[in-house]
C-alpha cells in the first residue's frame, strides 16, 4: 500500500509536501535505519573551515547606523533603498526578497505586521499567504481594502523586511536594528491610525508583549493612535478568537468614522 502511494506521488506533490513540512518548522529527517550518534561522536573529525559572519567595524553600532540611514531617507523609495543597502541584519542572507510594503501610502490606516512568511518572501509583499487572505476578508468586512487608493485604503508593512528561517520569531537584536527604519516608515507614510498586529509587533512598537491582553485597547505609538490586534495567523490557529478580532474591527471602523466626522466641513 505504501509503495503504491509513493509511486503515485509526483514531483509537484512531493515538493508541496516538503514545503509544508518546512513551514511547520521541520529541520531534519529521520532515516529508515537507526544511527548510533554516540559512535559517530567518538570518531575524530576534521574541522571544516567556516567563514565568520561579518561583524561591524570597530566602534560601529548597527542600531546607530540604522538610525542614520533611516533619518537620511526623504521618501519611501529612498527608505526602501536604505534598507536594501543596510548590511548588518543577517536575515537578508537567507531571504529571497525584501518585503517592504503593500497598499496605498496615503491611506489613513497603516498596519504593522511581524515578519514575512514563505509566500510573502516569494511574492515580495506582506500578508499574501493564508493569513493575508484572512486579513483582506477582515478589512473588507468594515469597508477597507489595500487596493483602495482613497479613504478606504490600507497601507501595510512589517517590523522586519526579511523572512526569518523556518518562520521563527525574530531575535531582539534583529528587531532593534530594524526599528529605526520602521519608525521612519511610519513618519513618511504619516497615517492617521496604526494597527499593531501580533505579539512581535507589539513588543517592537509598544515595548510590551502579551497581545491577548493588549488587543482592543487604544494606545499611542509613534506619535499617533494605535490599536493592538490579534494576528490573522493566530486566528487561523484559534478560530474562537475571531469574536475578539471582530470587536476590534468594529472599534477601528467607529474610530475612523468619528475622525471623518470631526474633520468634515
pLDDT tens digit string along 187-221? Answer: 999 999 999 999 999 999 999 999 999 999 999 99
Tell me, what CATH number does 89's domain have? 3.40.470.10
Residue 67: other Cβ atoms inside 10 A: 17
Cell (9 digits) for 132: 493575508
Cell (9 digits) for 177: 536594528
Q: 229-258, pLDDT tens digit by residue?
A: 999 999 999 999 999 999 999 999 999 999
State the pLDDT at residue 49. Answer: 39
pTM for the model stands at 0.77
Residue 138: other Cβ atoms inside 10 A: 19
Domain for residue 102, yes or no? yes
Domain for residue 216, yes or no? yes
Residue 111 burial by CB count (10 A; 0-12/13-18/19+): exposed, middle or buried? buried
**∠ CA 209-117-103, rounded to 5°:** 85
Domain for residue 50, yes or no? no
Q: Which domain holds residue 82?
A: 62-263
Mean pLDDT of the chain: 85
pLDDT at 61 over 50: yes
Domain for residue 44, yes or no? no
Domain for residue 55, yes or no? no
Domain for residue 251, yes or no? yes
Number of structural domains found in the chain = 1
pLDDT at 9 over 90: no
Going by C-beta distance under 8 Å and a sequence separation of 6 or more, which residues neighbour residue 233? 130, 131, 198
pLDDT at 115 over 90: yes
d(CA 173, CA 31): 36
Domain for residue 210, yes or no? yes
Domain for residue 161, yes or no? yes
Amino acid at each position: 500500500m505504501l509503495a503504491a502511494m509513493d509511486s503515485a506521488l509526483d514531483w509537484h506533490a512531493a515538493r508541496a509536501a516538503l514545503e509544508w513540512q518546512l513551514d511547520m518548522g521541520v529541520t531534519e529527517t529521520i532515516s529508515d535505519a537507526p544511527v548510533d550518534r554516540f559512535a559517530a561522536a567518538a570518531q575524530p573529525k576534521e574541522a571544516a573551515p567556516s567563514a565568520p559572519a561579518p561583524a561591524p567595524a570597530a566602534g560601529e553600532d548597527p542600531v546607530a547606523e540604522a538610525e542614520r540611514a533611516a533619518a537620511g531617507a526623504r521618501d519611501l523609495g529612498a527608505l526602501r533603498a536604505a534598507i536594501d543597502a543596510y548590511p548588518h541584519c543577517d536575515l537578508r542572507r537567507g531571504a529571497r526578497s525584501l518585503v517592504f510594503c503593500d497598499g496605498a501610502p496615503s491611506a489613513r490606516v497603516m498596519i504593522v505586521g511581524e515578519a514575512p512568511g514563505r509566500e510573502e518572501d516569494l511574492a515580495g509583499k506582506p500578508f499574501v499567504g493564508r493569513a493575508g487572505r484572512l486579513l483582506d476578508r477582515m478589512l473588507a468586512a468594515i469597508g477597507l481594502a489595500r487596493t483602495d487608493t482613497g479613504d478606504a485604503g490600507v497601507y501595510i508593512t512589517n517590523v522586519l523586511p526579511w523572512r526569518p528561517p523556518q518562520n521563527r520569531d525574530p531575535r531582539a537584536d534583529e528587531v532593534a536594528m530594524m526599528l529605526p527604519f520602521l519608525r521612519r516608515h511610519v513618519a513618511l507614510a504619516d497615517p492617521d491610525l496604526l494597527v499593531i498586529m501580533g505579539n512581535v509587533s507589539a513588543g517592537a512598537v509598544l515595548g510590551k508583549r502579551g497581545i491577548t491582553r493588549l488587543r482592543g485597547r487604544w494606545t499611542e505609538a509613534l506619535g499617533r493612535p494605535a490599536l493592538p490586534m490579534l494576528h490573522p495567523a493566530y486566528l487561523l490557529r484559534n478560530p474562537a478568537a475571531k469574536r475578539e478580532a471582530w470587536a476590534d474591527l468594529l472599534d477601528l471602523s467607529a474610530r475612523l468614522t468619528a475622525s471623518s466626522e470631526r474633520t468634515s466641513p
